[in-house]
Amino acid sequence: MKNLRIRFLALSLGFAAAASAQDLAPITQAETTRIVKALSADDMQGRASFTPGIEKAAGFLQQEFQRIGLQPLPGEDDFKQTFTMYRVSPQVKQVQLNSKAVKPEHVFAITDKKMLNWTKQGKQSVVTVGEQDDFRTVLGELNTDTLDALVLVHPKHEELFSRYQHYMGSGTVKKQLDESGSKVFILTDQMAPSSYTIKLENNIEQLQLTNVGGMIAGRRKDEFVVFSGHYDHIGIQQPTSGDSIANGADDDAAGTTAMLLLAAYYKQQPQPERSLLFVAFAAEEIGGFGSKYFSEQLNPEQIVAMFNIEMVGKPSKFGPNSAYLTGFERSNLGTLMQQRLQGTAYSIHPDPYPEQNLFYRSDNATLARLGVPAHTISSVQIDQDKTYHTVDDELEQLNMEHLTNMIKAIALASEGVVNGKDTPTRVDKSQVR
C-alpha cells in the first residue's frame, strides 16, 4: 500500500515539476549534464588532491565562476582560495628485532620527523600491547603523550594493525608538523626483545590546496549563506575491467555541479538579502582540509546556514525528486526547507541512515562544530550503492533528470534563507563531536 501511494504521489507531483521547470532557468538538464560531464571526465583523472587532474578541475570551476559573473570570496582577489599543507610520506623502513629483519608491512610510525634512528640504548620507552590488551585504548593513551615510544603489538591485533599501517603508509596530510613525540609500532610476538634497531625516513613536502569559490553580495554584508560541494575525489585506483579512474561522478561532481548551477540561478535573481558564498571544497576525501581553511577565513557567527551538497545524482530511497538532510534534528533548517517545498514536486527528509554517520562524513561537520546550521543534502542510497568509492562511479550511472530536479529543489528550498525571511536555529556545538 505504502509503496503504491508514494509512487502515485511522485507521479502526480512529477507533472507539477515539469510545469514549473522554466521558472528556474538556468537550471536545465543540458547545463547539468555539461558540467557534471566535464568534472567527471577521464581527463580529470579522478580529481585526487595534489595531482594535475584536480588542478584541471579547479581551472574549469574558475572559468565557470567567471562566466556566471560572481565576485571573489571575502578577502580573496580571484576565485581560487589557496593554502599550504604538509604531506608526510614514509620512505625508508629498516627495522630489526633481536637482529632479525621485520617485514615492512609489520611496521608503521606516527611521526613527522624527517628521520628516526633508534636502538635499544636510546631514550624511547617500550610499550607492549599484549594478547589481552585493548589496542585502541593504548593508541588513545599514546596519542596524548609527547614522548618517543616503541610499541610492540601482539599478532592477535593484526587486523586493526594492518588498517593503521595501510593508512599511515599512504602518507598523511596536515596543517602543521608535530615534532613532539614519535611512536613506532611493530607487529610481533617478541614482547621483550634483547635488541632492536629502527631506521625510518619520511619525505616531507609543502603542497598547495585550492578551494574554488565566489560570492553574490547581498544587501546584508555581514550575513552569509554557503552553498558547497567538494570537487576532489580519490583519483586512480586498482584497475577493474581495464578502468582505473575513479571518476567520482556522484561523489561529488554532482554536488559541485549543483553548487555551480545554484550560483548561476541566484545570479539571475534580484539581489539577495543575504550574501551568498558558493564554494567547491578541496581535500574532502583526505580529511576535510578545504572546508576547515574556508571556515577559518570567516566569522562563523555571520554564517546563517550552509547547504552542503553531496551525491545527489541518483534517486533516494524516498523516490525521485526527493533527498535527505544529514543531522536533520540538529537545527530547524530541514523543517524550513520542507515548508518551502510544500506544494512542489520535491521533498526533503531526515537522514534515513543514522548508523552511517553521514553528518560527520562531509564538509558540513566542520562548520557545524562552529555552531553553524550546516547540513549535507544527499540522495545516495549509501547502504546499497555499489559504485561508492569505486571506478564505477561514472556519468552513465547518474540520473540527469533527478540531478537537475535536485538542484531545482535546493533552489526553492533555500529561497527563504537567501532572502532573509527564514533564519534557521543554530547547531548546539556541545553536541557535535
Residues that bind Zn ion (CB under 5 A): 251-252, 310
- Give per-residue burial for 19-48: e unless 16+ CB within 10 Å, then b: eebeebeebbeebbbebbebbbbeebbbbb
CB of 252 to Zn ion, least distance (A): 4
Closest to 365 measured CA to CA, from 228, 174, 161, 200: 228
For Zn ion, give the closer residue by CB, 218 or 248. Answer: 248
DSSP string of 244-300, one letter each residue: EE---IIIIIIHHHHHHHHHHHHHHSSPPSEEEEEEEES-TTTT-HHHHHHHHTS-G
CB proximity list for 253: less than 8 A, separation 6 or greater: 35, 36, 39, 40, 231, 233, 247, 313
Are the C-beta atoms of 211 and 256 separated by less than 8 Å?
no
- CB neighbours of 376 closer than 8 A, spacing ≥ 6? 308, 309, 310, 325, 326, 327, 358, 359, 362, 363, 364
As measured in angstroms, the least distance from the Cβ of 250 to Zn ion is: 8
**Nearest 5°: phi and psi at 344?**
-105, 180
Give start and end residues of each alpha helix (H) in 284-384. 289-296, 333-341, 364-368
Question: What is the nearest approach in angstroms of Zn ion to the Cβ of residue 284?
Answer: 6
Q: Among residues 190 and 381, whose Cβ is nearest to Zn ion?
A: 381
Instruction: Give me the least distance between CB of 363 and Zn ion, in Å please.
Output: 9
> At 149, which helix (H) or strand (E)?
strand 149-153
Find the shortest distance in angstroms from Cβ 49 to Zn ion: 13
Minimum gap (Å) between residue 248 Cβ and Zn ion: 8
Q: Please report the DSSP string for 21-54 in residue order.
A: GGGGTT--HHHHHHHHHHHTSGGGGGG-TTSHHH
Which is nearest to 236 in space by CA: 58, 55, 43? Answer: 43
Minimum distance of Zn ion from residue 251's CB (angstroms): 4
Instruction: Round the CA-based radius of gyration of the chain to a whole number and report it.
Output: 24
Q: Which residue, 256 or 405, has its beta carbon nearer to Zn ion?
A: 256
In the bound state with Zn ion, the residue whose beta carbon lies nearer, of 138 and 254, is: 254
User: What is the SS3 assignment for 390?
Assistant: coil
Task: Assign 330 to helix, strand or coil.
Answer: helix
Least distance to Zn ion from the beta carbon of 230, Å? 6
CB of 288 to Zn ion, least distance (A): 10
Q: Which is nearer to Zn ion, 148 or 252 (CB)?
A: 252
**Minimum gap (Å) between residue 270 Cβ and Zn ion:** 33
Angle between the 400-418 and 29-39 helix axes, to the nearest 10 degrees?
100
Helix or strand or coil: residue 422? coil
CB of 429 to Zn ion, least distance (A): 24
Q: In whole angstroms, give the CA distance from residue 236 to residue 233.
A: 9
Task: Identify the residue whose cell numbers are 567547491.
Answer: 280
Cβ proximity to Zn ion, 223 vs 232, nearer residue: 232
| Choice between 252 and 394, CB closer to Zn ion | 252
Q: How many CA atoms lie within 13 A of 152 on its CB side?
A: 20
- Residue placing its CB nearer to Zn ion in the complex, 10 or 41: 41
SS3 assignment, position 19? helix
CB 281 within 8 Å of CB 226: no
Comparing CB distances to Zn ion, the nearer of 148 and 285 is: 285
Closer by beta carbon to Zn ion, 148 or else 363: 363
Q: Which is nearer to Zn ion, 202 or 210 (CB)?
A: 210
